[in-house]
Structure 1
């Protein structure tokens, strides 16, 4: 009980600076992008702040968890559970519900370069970062893992195209797979490996 109280106290301490950092990042880099994705339920121009607050609080919780994990080389299991559920729910939304009714085809795997050159780097970064957690869960990279990962990404893009849920984009597949590889390489770092190893204890 004493340890749990100490964990909660540390989370509160870590959350204070994390909140202001996440608020700055959200307002300056993410808010307009989020409003494009959630336009049905979210309009910041009309003073609709509940969605923004929920996102900032979730990002704050994520940052506080990262700080705690880096200090203690472990993640509280309940924190991991909350973040895992939040991640997969938002991942499903962004993959299948943010572009309902649209359909397109892009077979250029390096189309993201033009996005960088035109100042749309946030979208490119998002496509990489959002798949890092999947790579963090991979203990060992093999041909089988690569085939499953690439096959799953092609399946996702195919569903987006055939069911009018977005664009079949080879550039997205390249970026998403890069995120998975990046997450795996992070997992290889000894401290991060210990953090995820603590979840088994």
Structure 2
């Protein structure tokens, strides 16, 4: 790729949308923080991990919807591409922008997959993938219907892949923490 990768990512990032007012992010941060604090104060028997991850999950979806639908410019007509994996053909021809867009579509949904693992019933990779696919299909459908952005099948695939990466990342971190706790517990038992 030509030029600095960071510049490319910033230029094409869906999260970097200068049309989104700062107060949207600030207010959503304060609302999320307040919800977590209130729930922790009110509910004595609350499962803290699930509650915090659930609230952050909803917050993440809100920010993604703002970035990909709400604050996108309305186009004169709907734009779509339902040819599977057309991005890879463009990448093979040297289209750096498509490479960056594929990468960003995967990265954008990693937090969804990671945070979904903290929810009670979403504990298998296919359930996480299904959640990611439903959210992505909703976004793509809204982009097509509201004429905002570019509705494409590849985005659904890459977003879903991002949720699976987030799931695997969560599983890997949980495994490392469990191993570390077991080592620490074994050392404590050896001292006794």
**Normalized against structure 2, the TM-score is what?**
0.55
1:161 aligns with 2:139: no
Counterpart position of 2:184? none
After TM superposition, give the deviation of residue 101 of structure 1 in Å. Answer: 1.4
Counterpart position of 1:32? 11
Larger radius of gyration: 2
1:113 aligns with 2:88: yes
Matches within 5 A, 1:61-72: none
Matches within 5 A, 1:31-110: 31-33=10-12, 38=17, 40=19, 87-102=60-75, 103-110=78-85
The question of whether the paired residues in 2 share the 8 Å contact of 1:109 and 1:172 is answered with: no
The question of whether the paired residues in 1 share the 8 Å contact of 2:129 and 2:164 is answered with: no
**Whole-Å separation in 2 of the counterparts to 1:112 and 1:157:** 16
**Whole-Å separation in 2 of the counterparts to 1:107 and 1:81:** 32
Structure 1: tracts of 5 or more residues without a match: 1-23, 43-50, 55-78, 196-201
The question of whether the paired residues in 2 share the 8 Å contact of 1:104 and 1:167 is answered with: yes
Equivalent residues, number: 143
The question of whether the paired residues in 1 share the 8 Å contact of 2:13 and 2:104 is answered with: no
The question of whether the paired residues in 1 share the 8 Å contact of 2:79 and 2:149 is answered with: yes
Deviations 1:15-60 (A, max 9, x none): xxxxxxxxx975x33443369x645589xxxxxxxx8xx9xxxxxx
After TM superposition, give the deviation of residue 105 of structure 1 in Å. Answer: 1.6
The question of whether the paired residues in 2 share the 8 Å contact of 1:131 and 1:176 is answered with: yes
The question of whether the paired residues in 2 share the 8 Å contact of 1:135 and 1:181 is answered with: yes
The question of whether the paired residues in 2 share the 8 Å contact of 1:187 and 1:193 is answered with: no
**Whole-Å separation in 1 of the counterparts to 2:64 and 2:70:** 10
**Whole-Å separation in 2 of the counterparts to 1:41 and 1:133:** 20
**Normalized against structure 1, the TM-score is what?**
0.53
After TM superposition, give the deviation of residue 186 of structure 1 in Å. Answer: 1.3
After TM superposition, give the deviation of residue 171 of structure 1 in Å. Answer: 0.5
**Secondary structure of the structure 2 residue equivalent to 1:99:** coil
